[in-house]
Chain A
Amino acid sequence: MRISDNTIIRNFMTSLSGNAGQLNRASLKVSTGRSYQTVSEDPVAALKAMKIRRSLSRVSDFQSNISDFEAVTAERESAISEINDILTEISASVLQAKNGTYSDSDRDSIASSLRSYQETVFDIANSSYCGQYIFGGSKEYDIPFSLDASGKLLYQGVSLDTGTFSPEHSYMDISAGTTADTAYSGAYLLGTGVDAGGISNNIYNLIGQIAADFENNDLSKISLYSEKLAKVQEDITVKYAEVGAQSKFVEFFSDRLTATKTNLTERQTELEGVDSAEAIMYYNQQSAAYDATLAMGAKIVPQSLLDYISR
């Protein structure tokens, strides 16, 4: 094939700009640490990476849900444990009061301590975390407990002795397809209804009844109260275990999410990132090729037979 001067120079220019382009891409890879700069360079990887980004943002949503939930559960655990302690104290006092040697005034003082325990239980049941009432059921922004005119406890405005309560739910996503019920009904916590003997199943009302009887020096129901207290305390222990189990359940998902996040981040790096050693090697190769092309250009461009003919 006949080669003209323009052919040589045009082909040289083509290779030079091709090499410059490769060098530019190689240097971008090193400086950005990304294996591609635009979606069209590697559409498949870019779309996979997009999907992973979406999953990652979901995972961090779930993680923030779980950490909120864990904090609330921890609050509940400590609240229930406090109620349990109070019940222990009250059971001991009632046992002592059963003792015939106690005078009326002693019972009065027990009654007044029972009244203050009652208040404590009320405060605990109405405690809140970050503006949300932890035993507010599904209405966590409304104060759950209040008292009626006779000093009986109301939950969401309904008497706990006479009203009926259905379970409350409020679901939160903690993992793809898995939800946790974040609502905790205060009615369930403190108990509802009265038994056949007219004794309230509700902790607050029960303490109130015992205190009132002591104030009136009425010891007729004291054994029944002891039995009742034992039963109520047993229930509270069960509830304490339940909350513990729930927090274990969520913790399990929290661990799983951490693993998923690590996994996804790894995949993202695989798709979007470059091995920097490899990238630098590639850059050096391209740089060498570019230098070689330039050196070659310096040789071929000026030469022709004219340079060699002496006249």
Chain B
Amino acid sequence: MSGTFHGLEVAKSGLVAAQIAINVAGQNIANAKTEGYTRQSAVQNSVSAGLGPFQYAPAGTSVGQGVTVTSIMQNRDGYLDIRYRNANSTYNTFSSTLSALESIRGVLDETDTDGLNAVLADFYSSLQDLSNNAGGVEYASLLRSAAEKVTNTLNEYASQFLQIKDELSYDLSLSVGDVNTLLAKINDLNGTIAVAALNGTDCNELKDARNLYLDELSGYMNITVTNNLNGTVSISSGSGTLLDAATGTVTALAVDTGSGSYAVVDGGGNDFAISDGSIKGLLQSLNGAGVYAGAGGDPFKGVAYYQRALDDFAAAFASVYNNLNAANGDLFAASGGGAVTAANIRVSDDWKNSAGFVDTSGDIPSEMLGAMDEKVAVSSGFMGTFEEYAALLMSDIGTDASYYGDMAAAKSAIAESIQDDREAISGVSIDEETVNTIKYQKAYQAAARVMSVLNEMLDTLINGMAV
């Protein structure tokens, strides 16, 4: 037998639950466009009739005690989070590599502008003229200015590569700094969430913020996130732990260039392996030495590859023409002495002072001309003409940039589709929330109606009955 005012209590719980649900719908609508917001819903449970401390079952039927809101739940699928973060890491590897390759392509691409291929063609034409007019000193000076164009182009390429390297390494240090900041922020949120969990607060909004940071972090590197029972998360990646929630310690990362190549190291100076993400893309774009990579080196063709390939070209070009001019002396030299590289190759002072320094006697001019069509071992594994080598560099960057462009587009589509799946669960639909608002409004009205019916019943009982 239920108490006289039992019905009033039940109706009141209905009012309260509907009110909370309307507030949740309001919160959802308010955050419909908030980045990282996860749709919430009020979890309602019916309350069963009191199971009192009776030795025997109470007589008659018992009615439940209304409704209660047990929690405000986030609609989120942890598995999709993992898939999204992996896809996001992979996508960022390709997109950051692509942007580095595009800078390199800007240097080497001669589709629209003239570069190394064009100046070599000029050099060839000047040799052709010199060999047809062996005694003409004016042709020797034309050849010298064509040679200066070649050396200037090589210098220019070398300095542009250096600049690209600078930009990439700046980018790398910013990215690593950002990772450290994100880890610190996540660590802070971990602390707040753990304390709030003890108080029984859901703190959904803090979790949203933390998830957003985790998504951002996954763009920099591949991470593994472990959810702990107290609501905190621990993060590890390639080489080990980045954030240990139990102790609240964060691994501080730094960029190291000590070994001649770029590396990310932990606080102890040990290499921290990074498997994916934009940091991985930057590292391979900086360190990738292609065919020059020794055992354990990065065989990707990054800036390091193009720098060395260009140095090889400069050295081979200088040595072939210096040998042909052996009777008079070196035509090309390194400014400041030492080995000839793309950055320091110059027309030698002797030749600069006198155009006729180039040997025009006998067959030398036609041998110089022939050298342009001869196969030269410019670098290990390459045997071909100088012009073919210049075209090869363009081909390398063209095919790589094209591959990374296509892959970046494909990986972006994958990440987008997982994001769609995530949104399907976590995203707010204003239509839906409007329906919820109406639904709970009606529920509230109905509960209120029950209350007024009960009121009338009590009125009848108390005032309408003659005693």
Q: Measuring CB to CB, which residues of chain A are less than 8 angstroms from any residue of chain B?
A: 1-7, 10-11, 14, 34, 36-43, 46-47, 49-51, 53-54, 57-58, 61, 65, 68, 131-132, 139-142, 170-173, 182, 304-306, 309
Contact = CB atoms under 8 A, between A and B. Distances in A.
Nearest to B390: A50
B275 to A, nearest CB: 26
Contact of A38 (B39, B111, B136): B111
A134 to B, nearest CB: 13
A38 B395 contact: no
20 contacts: A3-B429, A6-B423, A6-B427, A39-B398, A40-B105, A40-B399, A43-B399, A47-B398, A49-B111, A51-B391, A53-B121, A65-B132, A141-B135, A170-B134, A172-B131, A173-B369, A304-B431, A305-B430, A305-B431, A306-B430
Contact of B428 (A6, A11, A57, A58): A6
B242 to A, nearest CB: 29
Given A34-B111, A57-B125, 4 more contacts: A37-B112, A54-B387, A65-B128, A306-B434
A4 B133 contact: no
Given A43-B398, A50-B394, A38 B428 contact: no
B59 to A, nearest CB: 48
B394 A46 contact: yes
B171 interface: no
A42 B420 CA distance: 32
A172 B101 CA distance: 43
Contacts of A172: 131-132
A7 B423 contact: yes
Chain B interface extent, by class: 35 or more
The 4 closest A-B pairs by CB, nearest first: A4-B427, A141-B135, A40-B401, A39-B398
A139 B361 CA distance: 10
Contacts of A4: 39, 423-424, 426-429
A5 B427 CA distance: 7
A47 B394 contact: yes
A141 B400 CA distance: 52
A7 B420 contact: yes
Contacts of B6: none
B123 to A, nearest CB: 11
Contact of A182 (B101, B132, B435): B132
A140 B135 contact: yes
A45 to B, nearest CB: 10
Contact of B366 (A11, A47, A171): A171
A132 to B, nearest CB: 7
A20 B420 CA distance: 22
Given A47-B395, A54-B117, A305-B435, A37 B111 contact: yes
A38 to B, nearest CB: 6
A14 B420 CA distance: 12
